[in-house]
A and B are shown apart, each in its own frame.
Chain A
Amino acid sequence: MRRLSILKFLNNKYLAYIIAGIFLVLSILLGISIGTVSVPIFTIIKIITAKLFGVISLETIDPMYSSIVLNIRLPRVILSGLVGASLAIAGAAFQGLLRNPLADPYTLGVSSGASVGAVLTLFFQLSIPFIGSFTLPLLSILFSFFTIFLVLMFASKIERSLRVETIILTGIIFSSFLGAIISLMIALTGDELRQIIGWLLGSVSMRGWDYIKIILPFFIIGSGLLMFNAKELNAMSFGEERAQHLGVNVQKRKLLILTAGSILTGAAVAVSGTIGFVGLVIPHLSRLLWGPDHRHLLPLSIITGSGFLILADLISRTIISPTELPIGVITALIGAPVFAIILLQRKRTERSG
């Protein structure tokens, strides 16, 4: 009996991971392969295995291909993958915590905070000594931290127990306020306008390996923290009081989850600008396909989120080539209708059920 249920359980979840994994690998290969110069998929695999394991010598491969793959497309694909993964897992965690499938990292004002940090950097042409070009991402992360800290402090001033509703409302207040500051700076900007707008719409182009190095540690810390709190997220999606009755140290866990979420969002916003809908649609879709258990929802969101953003980036740079569309436009164009359809179907099943 017990063995049977384990098998069933594993089969079910294995399938989910296999499907998501295939989707991610396909996205990566397509993302590297397609472009102004098309690279055969077999060549890509050879280059990557050569680079990783050194079994095959790189010299047997056309140096143009290896240059395109290793210096341009691979870092871009990895970066968009990491950004998509960060936004998706942060979204999944926020939705679970706030018990609202329509919530996402933006609800808490975290991304607005990060944006303000970035826009300030661009506006004042800030450059901190020694780190130079990394001023932008670092300030974004700092501002997202700062914002979540402010939001939580403000919310706890309203109500000591930090109820979810209070946090959302506070997040909305901060979002609108910070959005207004960004608009103000854009209005005051002359020459930098295009750069700021472009950054706000989001992009992963021309970032290179350096940006991967910036986001990677934050991604590992953030998603690690969230994964360790998957069970608590399960409990908290039944309401904070119930979670406490079940034995969850709600205050501490909530703080941990919010911090991890803002690290992920802040880092993602810093390296790629504001990319909407990933944090909203991907967790929602994963939950619909594979159930709401956060122990699986979080890793599955990482996999599908990264695959999704890689594909979105691929479309954004190929659809009206050679001009590149901001990636945020693509995610919104795909994400909003998908989201609308999900919403309609939910409503319909609710009615019929």
Chain B
Amino acid sequence: MLNVQQVSGGYSSEAVLKDISFDVEKGELFGILGPNGSGKTTLLKMLSGILPIQQGEILIHGKRLQEYKAKQLAQIIAVLSQHSSQSFSYTVKETVSLGRYAHQKGLFQTWSNVDEEVVQRVMKQIGVARFQHKNIQELSGGEKQRVFLAQALAQEPEILLLDEPTNHLDLSYQKELLDFLKQWTAENDLMVISIFHDLNLAGLYCDRLLLLENGRINIDHIPNEVLREERIREVYHTDIQKHPHPKVAAPQMVLLPKVKNEVIDFHLDESRLHISNEFIMLTSLLPLRTMSSGVIGSGTGWHQTFVNRHVNKDYNCNDHRSEMASFLKSKGFEPSETVGMMTAVILEDVVYKRYSGEGFSIFVVVTAGVGNAIDASKSEQHSFDIVPGTINTWIFVTGELTEEAFIQSIMTATEAKVKALNDLKVIDEVTGTIATGTSTDSILIAATQSGEMLEYAGTITPLGKLISKAVYQCTTEAILKSCKRKRK
């Protein structure tokens, strides 16, 4: 319904936009992205008929934009600018009512019942009805923006153009506004074209994105394709990283701040390890990137303190997370910066080893007990019963790991652990076969994310080799220690 065909134009004789072509259909939320000066606002102004089109055509319903009269155009297109100047103290209702200008006919342009209904309806929708008699100059930035949105909607447009609508708005207003627009677009089968500064918001809400670069289209595609790391890095000339949204299938971008590359050569070894009867603790000088299955701090994150706590075999596991958190607090640890695990193993029997590779090193800490050993291939025969984990493996890496390397580290460590159990002939007491682990084993991979780049951690990569060796040896030793203690 909106077709832009090879359009060039701009403020003065020199064209800011060059050879722009794209189509937008009804029901689409279409985002325009681009660095400062790439021509986003110029494009929007040309679409709204403010700036002249030097070359090419903009067609709405197949009719050239220039052929529409101002009033006709205002019945199709409404615009919400970034900020609106208001020198006089109109009331909210007066301001919203101006949106009906294009729909009023005749010399005296009388205010009809329809006009009044529309104005009241949009004011209710946007939530400005309750202060409709207030003076707009008394409103906050967010409220003003909503009043002007109500004004634009009072035009009953088919196309809504927005210039960075979330600018100056706090988080809740941003979300509210965009949620509303998304819903409004879908329900009324209308079109929203919006400039976005925030790539993440654009990726979250838009159906399609147009990326401008120096007045030309870089790409016009779905968000996942437009928001590619390399593309954004190149267009915006900045370091960013892409990662998925935790809840919604939408790409998100994070900035990589320029950090002082002070290479603190901090050793992750036994000197940082503290062992008592109650817990084993390791504190790092800097936060470490972690991937773990602990009770606290599980999943991925950044953590500085690592605690493996001894609990009795009859530990009540009902609300172990909050119990663990309060335990950590009582010991002076900050739960949000800590990865916490539990074990029933006597902590004296911990085994740790440090290995160095070329440009990197790993430090592995294992506590193991196999009273609860299970053969994973026959685990169906076991009843479900959570008891504290019995093989807890920590792997600290001085080096930079990719996401792949994190996952491969876990695989490699698990394979090494299984092999250790196999070689020691640890038996699953229920099935009578050789066990592969225990029912509640936990693992932690923590990396300093500085120094040597370690892309992979498969079993025959330099890192994988060290991990297999260390985990195999540590697990074997730890199991032997615990068996010895049992026999005593």
A interface residues (Cβ-Cβ under 8 A, vs B)? 2, 96, 99-101, 228, 231, 234-235, 237-239, 241-242, 244-250, 287, 291-293, 353
Contact = CB atoms under 8 A, between A and B. Distances in A.
5 closest A-B pairs by beta carbon, nearest first, are A247-B74, A247-B102, A292-B88, A245-B79, A247-B71
Interface in B103-129: 104, 107, 109, 113, 116
Given A99-B88, A239-B85, A246-B151, 11 more contacts: A2-B116, A101-B87, A101-B88, A235-B98, A235-B101, A238-B95, A241-B81, A244-B49, A245-B74, A247-B75, A247-B102
Contacts of A244: 48-50, 70
Contacts of B49: 244
Contacts of B72: 247
A50 to B, nearest CB: 37
A99 B85 contact: yes
A228 B89 CA distance: 22
A309 B225 CA distance: 69
Interface of B: 45, 48-50, 69-75, 77-79, 81, 84-91, 94-95, 98-99, 101-102, 104, 107, 109, 113, 116, 137-138, 151-152, 155
Given A231-B101, A245-B79, A250 B70 contact: yes
B89 A291 contact: yes
Nearest to B71: A247
Given A246-B99, A291-B91, A353-B138, A238 B74 contact: no
B155 A246 contact: yes
Nearest to A249: B70
Contacts of B138: 353
A237 B74 contact: no
B87 A246 contact: no
8 contacts: A96-B88, A99-B88, A231-B109, A237-B88, A238-B86, A238-B95, A239-B85, A287-B88
Contacts of A250: 70
B48 A245 contact: yes
Contacts of A249: 69-71
A235 B70 CA distance: 13
A233 B267 CA distance: 73
A349 to B, nearest CB: 10
B52 to A, nearest CB: 9
A293 B90 contact: yes
A310 B10 CA distance: 52
A234 B87 CA distance: 11
Nearest to B90: A292
B85 A247 contact: no
Nearest to B152: A245
A353 B137 CA distance: 9
**A235, A245, A249 interface centre (most CB from chain B within 10 Å):** A245
A162 B73 CA distance: 21
Nearest to B85: A239
B87 A100 contact: yes
Contacts of A2: 113, 116
B143 to A, nearest CB: 14
A103 to B, nearest CB: 10
Nearest to B138: A353
Contacts of A101: 87-88
Contacts of B74: 245-247
B85 A246 contact: no
A101 B99 CA distance: 23
Contacts of B86: 237-238
A353 B89 CA distance: 13
A100 B89 CA distance: 12
**B79, B101, B107 interface centre (most CB from chain A within 10 Å):** B101
A246 B50 contact: no
A247 B88 CA distance: 20
B98 A293 contact: no
A246 B157 CA distance: 11
A293 B89 CA distance: 9
Contacts of B98: 231, 234-235, 238, 246
A12 to B, nearest CB: 11
Contacts of B71: 247, 249
A242 B84 contact: yes
Contacts of B79: 241-242, 245
A237 B87 contact: yes
Given A235-B101, A241-B50, A247 B87 contact: no
B239 to A, nearest CB: 36
Given A234-B98, A353-B138, A247 B73 contact: yes
A245 B74 CA distance: 6
B161 to A, nearest CB: 8
A292 B84 contact: no
Contact of A292 (B77, B89, B102): B89
A246 B101 contact: yes
Nearest to A294: B88
A247 B101 contact: yes
Contacts of A291: 89-91, 94
**A235, A238, A247 interface centre (most CB from chain B within 10 Å):** A247
A272 B321 CA distance: 88
B70 A248 contact: yes
A239 B90 contact: no
Nearest to A232: B101
Contacts of B48: 244-245
B229 to A, nearest CB: 37
Contacts of B78: 245
A251 to B, nearest CB: 9
Contacts of B116: 2
A242 B79 CA distance: 8
A176 to B, nearest CB: 25
B236 to A, nearest CB: 28
A248 B101 contact: yes
A246 B100 CA distance: 8
Nearest to B52: A160
B132 to A, nearest CB: 10
Contacts of A228: 107
Given A245-B77, A246-B98, A238 B89 contact: no
Contacts of A99: 85, 87-88
Contacts of B85: 99, 238-239
Nearest to A253: B70
A248 B133 CA distance: 25
Nearest to B51: A161
Contacts of A247: 70-75, 101-102, 155
